[in-house]
Structure 1
Amino acid sequence: MPPLPTADIACPYCGETITLVVDDSAGDQQYIEDCHVCCKPIEVRVSVDEDGAVDVVAWGQDDA
């Protein structure tokens, strides 16, 4: 089984770059993941296109 893809994002709160492991087998999804540095909740949206390319968008809960 190939390794899961990763995505580097900047935390919308502290600005640190964190690496997320993305489960691309689940298709499009949206979830909350805590920053590994400041522990604040980050909204994450994962989109998987027809070719299997993964796009990750993240924002703070106060940005909604």
Structure 2
Amino acid sequence: MNELDSQKVHCPYCGEVIELVVDCSVEQQSYIEDCEVCCCPIGVDVSIDNEGQVLLNVSHENE
């Protein structure tokens, strides 16, 4: 699997589809990334399962 993977998600604020680049070399990570459309801070939770699939959850920053 590539170390970087591109994932499309909906911004929890504006609902627009945005693309996030995920570092697959880290099994679990949480960070804040600004929406490229509305600039609101999105909470991003990433985990990689045993089969190498990316599990991605986005939420409002304070959820």
Shift of 1:26: 1.4
1:61 aligned onto 2:61: yes
Gaps of 5+ in 1: none
Q: Could you say what the CA RMSD is over the residues aligned between the two structures, in angstroms?
A: 1.6
One-letter amino acid of the structure 1 residue matched with residue 37 of structure 2 = V
TM-score (norm 2): 0.89
Corresponding pairs, count: 63
One-letter amino acid of the structure 1 residue matched with residue 38 of structure 2 = C
Report the structure, 1 or 2, having the larger strand content: 2
One-letter amino acid of the structure 2 residue matched with residue 17 of structure 1 = V
Aligned to 1:12: 12
Q: In 1, Cα distance between the equivalents of 2:47 and 2:2?
A: 19
Gaps of 5+ in 2: none
Report the structure, 1 or 2, having the larger helix content: 1
1:21 aligned onto 2:28: no
Shift of 1:3: 6.2
Distance 1:2 1:24, change over 3 A: closer
Q: In 1, Cα distance between the equivalents of 2:25 and 2:2?
A: 11
For 1:5-27, what per-residue CA distance to the aligned partner results, in whole angstroms no more than 9, with x for missing partners? 11111111111100001001011
TM-score (norm 1): 0.87
Structure 1 segments of 4+ aligned residues over 4 angstroms from their partners: none
